[in-house]
Amino acid sequence: MERRKFLKGAGLAAGAVAGGFAAPAIAKADDTFNWRMVMPWPKGSPGLGANGEKFAERVKKMSGGRLNIKVYGPGELVPAFECMDAVEQGVAEMAHGTPYYWAGKDDAVNFFSTIPFGLTGWELSGWMRFGGGQALWEELYSQFNVVPFLAGNTGLQAGGWFNKEINTVDDIKGIKMRYAGIGGEAMRRLGAIVTMLPAAEILPALQSGAIDAAEWVGPWNDYAFGLTQVAKYYYTPAFAEPGTGIEVFINKDKFNSLPEDLQEIVRVAAQANTEQTLADFTYNNIESYQAVLKKNIEIRHFPDEVIKALAKQSMDAVKEIAAKKELNQRIYDSYMAFTKIAAPYGKAFEATCLMQRAKVWEES
């Protein structure tokens, strides 16, 4: 009797109680939703923060103002690397980021950002949309009570900025560096002292000597964030990030509360943002590389000996992630199966095409 009184007093039924539980709220077609979206990168930052804001603008326009998203940069609502926690706990309804930033919660998230020597930007999109990657991603993220969507890609990144040449594996030992994802783990296993810093802290850390080297993204972002000012050697390309996925993820309860048309608008807006972001990075990296070359910078490539060592450590780390649980193994098997057949295709078609093109333009 007392429990019945409590339930009625709490208003859980809202006039319609069945079996002691409240009837779920039904969203109306003309309901307006005001959401908060957190990001780990500064608002307006090239390719990243700017395209997160464009996603929010696109959703608002497509929904006719029924779904409004207010965007927060790092520290405005939560710290940079606490975006997943914020969405999981309902502090924000959604986030724009990249999965490996939440590797402390489950390191299998790396597969949906990037894996060293793994899928390129368009290959990642292919696997996600047609190779089963999206379903596996949703299954992984369900433990955080969020729904993920691919919403961008940086394309091939740079290997990083160093104040010391890397000629042998021994040269890596003792270097203090900012390095993300599995690539950072591979560097750590070869003796580097690896730290993870948000975007705004990379330049000050290099200037102060707190770190000796750093990878960020590529020419566009690296130039914009001033990294050409503080390092002599620019290593390209990134062994660790052949095509890094950018995401939006939404609190599952909040996403399920949307009418079906708004859910579809979010999906389509995320897909549009994927193409826009990759195109944005492609164009501006090409343009910005010319500015980098005008600086007193020496372009370097990691030697074969170093690449082989990094590949071994990277693959060992990835296999260890796969062995942790059954879902991880399924993600690993799916990702690696597609990567294995993408490699010979890429060599025969894209790599050969790019080498032929480079030769033509070098001789012209």
Summarize pLDDT for 24-33 with one digit per residue, the tens: 456 666 799 9
Q: Which of 13-27, 28-42, 158-172 has the lowest mean pLDDT?
A: 13-27
Q: Residues 95-102: what's their mean pLDDT?
A: 98
pLDDT value of position 12: 33
Tell whether the model's pLDDT for residue 124 goes beyond 60.
yes
Rounded CA Rg of the chain: 23
- Tell me what percent of the residues of the chain surpass a pLDDT of 70: 92
pLDDT of 215 > 90? The answer is: yes
pTM here is: 0.91
List all residues 6 or more positions away from 166 whose beta carbon is below 8 Å from its beta carbon: 172, 233, 235, 300, 302, 303, 306
What pLDDT score was predicted for residue 30? 76
Check if the beta carbon of residue 242 is closer than 8 Å to that of residue 119: yes
246 HSE (CA, 13 A, CB side): 30
**Once rounded to an integer, what is the mean pLDDT over residues 92-104?**
98
| Range 321-332 burial, b when 16+ CB lie within 10 A, else e | bbeeeebbebbb
Distance CA 360, CA 357 (A): 5
Residue range 194-208, pLDDT digits in tens: 999 999 999 999 999
Query: pLDDT tens digits, residue range 40-85?
Result: 999 999 999 999 999 999 999 999 999 999 999 999 999 999 999 9
Cis peptide before 79 (omega within 30 of 0): no
> By the 8 A CB rule, do 176 and 213 touch?
yes
Phi-psi region of 310 (alpha: psi -120 to 50; beta: other; left: phi over 0): alpha
* Helix (H) or strand (E) segment spanning residue 53: helix 49-62
211 touches 174 (CB < 8 A): no
- In whole angstroms, give the CA distance from residue 333 to residue 347: 22
pLDDT given at position 364: 82
Determine the average pLDDT of the residues in 211-231: 97
pLDDT of residue 186: 98
Residue 19 predicted with pLDDT over 80: no
pLDDT tier, 159 (very low <50, low <70, confident <90, very high otherwise): very high
